Amino acid sequence: MLSSPPLPPNAIRWLAALNIHNRAELQAVGAVRAYLLLKAAGHSATERLLFALEAAVRGEHWSALDDADRTALRLAAANHAPVRPLPPQAEQQAFMAEALALAAEAASHGEVPVGAVVVHHNKIIGRGYNRPVSSHDPSAHAEMVALREAATALGNYRLHGCQLYVTLEPCVMCAGAILHSRLDHVLYGAAEPRTGAAGSVLNLFAERRLNHHTAVDGNIESAAATALLTSFFAQRR
């Protein structure tokens, strides 16, 4: 379990709310990401806490960090991709289940099984599944269809306050549209090692020269998303 020292008691409680209860879980998240998640959650996370988190990862007191360690941590925090706290697990599962059902619908039409939903204030306002073949439209990826429907529902292409659940890591085209929409958070299922633009091939969401930064998290119900894709391509072979 995490202890004080090196962490202050409040930080231990804040981390527990993020399902980080011990050193192994903190190591898996990383000191910098944990620090940024605490800041995103509205906690008064100072640089000293960043150093304490790194000390907890290493299993030592924060005073053991030297100037080079502190400089490296400051730089890593400044250059880190945007983060947002994950929604409750039940919420993640419910919305990804809707996206998975849409992916299955795509497969039934002979399309690569990818589905997506846009959520605003805990309500789905946009749905989409892959349909470039049937619609003769190279832009008709699941994310694009869902974004269009959500923008129509809100009467605004800017989707502030929205989350996108998609069963497969977005490609460059979809990542660009997501960033342009100012969407808050992308939660995807399976990684896409060939075309993924959320970290697998490149990470557009971490590119600070772009005009907006959307947080992204993967591996949400990834086994189910992968199973749909594997089954689809096995049938095609």
Catalytic site includes residue 54: no
Say if residue 160 carries a ligand binding annotation: no
Burial class (CB in 10 A: 0-12, 13-18, 19+), 10: middle
Say if residue 212 carries a ligand binding annotation: no
Angstrom distance (rounded) from CA 42 to CA 38: 7
Strand bridging mode 162-168 / 215-217: unpaired
Q: What angle do CA 181, 186, 24 make, to 5 degrees?
A: 150
Cβ(113)–Cβ(107) below 8 Å: yes
Say if residue 141 carries a ligand binding annotation: yes
Of 25, 98, 111, 143, which one is the catalytic site residue?
Answer: 143
3-class DSSP assignment, residue 46: coil
Cβ(130)–Cβ(174) below 8 Å: no
Angstrom distance (rounded) from CA 196 to CA 198: 6
Cβ(128)–Cβ(152) below 8 Å: no
Strand bridging mode 115-120 / 185-190: unpaired
Cβ(96)–Cβ(187) below 8 Å: yes
Best CA proximity match to 182, nearest among 143, 152, 212: 212
Which of the residues are catalytic?
143
Instruction: Please state the residue numbers annotated as binding site for Zn(2+).
Output: 141, 171, 174
